Structure 1
Amino acid sequence: MRSIRIRDMLFASFVASAATFAAAPVSAQQPYDGLWNVTVVTKTGSCDASTSSTVTVADGKISAPNAAISGTVGSGGLVRVSINGAYANGQLSGNSGSGKWNGASAGVPCSGRWEASRQ
């Protein structure tokens, strides 16, 4: 289903944005490296009500199965992500983060919140 795919991609894209947090050398460990649990919740629209997944951020790079992601986390933890027409933004701080997302399912707008916690 397209709505499931958009939410899964949005989820993965959020975490992927955490991968580009710092401007340090690629071989150095970044502040947001590690395993993250991310939950994406739909507040409006016909996308899936909720989805959760675990992703890995390593050396400032995200790995998530089957997802083409682009995004950034600024030096202050500001998250900006896009993936196949879905967008998320928010804030990471320490071992947690949260924000908002929006996208569409079969042309019908969807939006909601995301939350992340480091394992």
Structure 2
Amino acid sequence: MRVARIQTVLLSCILTAGFAAPTLAGTAYDGLWTVKIVTKTGSCDPVTQYPLTVSDGKVSAADSDVTGSVGSQGYVRVSIRGAYANGHLSGNAGSGKWNGASAGIPCSGRWEASRH
């Protein structure tokens, strides 16, 4: 009877450990995103697009100086070549505001993102 109890406890522990195992690293926003940047004020490029990658909540790009993060609730903070952006992602889309400068003249506008 004692052996049966020990086996039951061990089986229960194994099953519980299997269900409690940590999930793979990543966030709900990981993936490849296309970000469209639209200038509303200033002399920066009127419209620019960047392919960005989110991995484990960190934002990066292969060919530009991008740093930033996406929080677990989808809040975004990013720096791209001296411009700063913030906003929100939800599902496969997002939007927000940005500001920066071109030749020392302030620029600002909105950005929109979509996930592939």
Please say whether Structure 1 and Structure 2 have the same fold, judged by a TM-score greater than 0.5.
Answer: yes
> Pairwise CA RMSD of aligned residues?
1.9
Note the residue ranges of structure 1 that are not aligned, 5 or more in a row: 1-24
Residue 64 of structure 1 corresponds to which residue in structure 2? 61
Residue 7 of structure 1 corresponds to which residue in structure 2? none
Matched, 1:55 2:47: no
Write the deviation string for residues 9-36 of structure 1: whole angstroms up to 9, x where unpaired: xxxxxxxxxxxxxxxx8x5132111111
C-alpha distance in 1 between matches for 2:83 and 2:89? 19
**Which has the bigger relative contact order, CA under 8 A and spacing at least 6?**
1
Matched, 1:99 2:101: no
Aligned length: 94
Larger Rg: 2
C-alpha distance in 1 between matches for 2:61 and 2:69? 15
Candidates 93, 109, 113, aligned match of 1:112: 109
Matched, 1:37 2:34: yes
Percent identity between the aligned chains?
69
- Return the letter of the residue paired with 1:78: Y
